[in-house]
Amino acid sequence: MDPTTDNAGNTGDPGAARASLEALRAEIAKAVVGQDPAVTGLVVALLCRGHVLLEGVPGVAKTLLVRALASALELDTKRVQFTPDLMPSDVTGSLVYDTRTAEFSFQPGPVFTNLLLADEINRTPPKTQSSLLEAMEERQVTVDGTPRPLPEPFLVAATQNPVEYEGTYPLPEAQLDRFLLKLTIPLPSRQDEIDVLTRHAEGFNPRDLRAAGVRPAAGPADLEAARAAVAKTTISPEITAYVVDICRATRESPSLTLGVSPRGATALLATARAWAWLTGRDYVIPDDVKALALPTLRHRVQLRPEAEMEGVTADSVINAILAHVPVPR
């Protein structure tokens, strides 16, 4: 069968797909300065058919990052600003009565897209937060008993502010576990911040990515070819056991009340596999597991209150576990 060609002019060849996904960094860098780890995390999530929680203070380009990714991948994207008065039907869609035909018709909500930006997801009540659970897990929305499939690919990129708690509703563990990765977006370095201001002084408009020169670097055919190649990446029994040992160690940590579930272990294996392929290998090594352990596991553990008061963080606990769990040779 001949490889398909997407609108960006790319074929579904795995080698070309890897090169196209690597070119995403250059395209996104035209709009977002720095943040390479976050860009890589978003690409890994796309390869694993997962979802991403982006955490950072306001003004660090979380929204711009997702928009730039969608533009560079030539994917449809929609943004929902989560507020206390947002209803589930505002996300999923609802049945609308047509007076001309005297019938109800389904009006799709913004969730029917390739890349959904759920902005400040912790500002809406749990009832509305839960409207995304079926979409994230089953990739469908059920309205009036009728399941409606979502487009493929489909990724939820949700943002939240880590420092402002007034008027927020923390995500429950069940929903946090639905996110493949939790990426922290740090404040830029001094030089990166100078570059940001220089771009704005030269006329950069974050609302016009085309004017900034962001062009499609990859398309759906590349993504499908990449996913197929990732699925063929070899995982040895020793690596599988290493992942299990790391996750089991979180359940025995005295600093945690909640450790990583088997779903978290599966997620770590998948993200390490995707990272191995992105770096040019067709097999997984322990360093791949270590590289993805923090973003894959940090939101799946829960600290004991006394540990939190002592300044212990989820990242420090996971780093300590990585330092003590024997590495396969």
Which pLDDT does position 173 carry in this prediction?
80
Q: Using one digit for the tens of pLDDT, what is the confidence trace for 246-277? A: 999 999 999 999 999 999 999 999 999 999 99
CB 11, CB 3: distance < 8 Å: yes
Which SS3 state, helix, strand or coil, does residue 106 take?
strand
Q: CA 175, CA 296: separation in Å to the nearest integer?
A: 14
Asked if residue 218 lies in contact with residue 12, where contact means CB atoms within 8 angstroms, the answer is no
Cα 286 from Cα 108, distance rounded (Å): 44
Please write the tens of the pLDDT for every residue from 117-166. Answer: 999 888 888 888 888 888 898 999 988 888 999 998 899 999 988 766 66
- Residue 165: per-residue pLDDT: 62
**Cα Rg for the chain, rounded, in angstroms?**
21
Residue with tokens 């940001």: 196
Both structure tokens of 260:
């990583």
Q: pLDDT below 70 — which residues of the chain?
A: 1-12, 163-167
pLDDT given for residue 167 in this prediction: 66
Pick left, alpha or beta for residue 9 (phi over 0 → left; psi -120 to 50 → alpha; otherwise beta).
Answer: left
Instruction: Evaluate whether 135 touches 150 at the Cβ level (below 8 Å).
Output: yes
- What's residue 313's pLDDT? 94
172 within 8 A of 125, measured Cβ to Cβ: no
Q: Give the separation between CA 304 and CA 188, rounded to whole angstroms.
A: 31
Q: Are 10 and 17 in contact (CB under 8 A)?
A: yes
**Confidence at residue 99, expressed as pLDDT on a 0 to 100 scale:** 79
| Residue whose C-alpha is closest to residue 117's, from 65, 176, 50 | 65
How far apart CA 88 and CA 99 sit, in angstroms, is 24
What is the greatest pairwise CA distance in the chain? 70
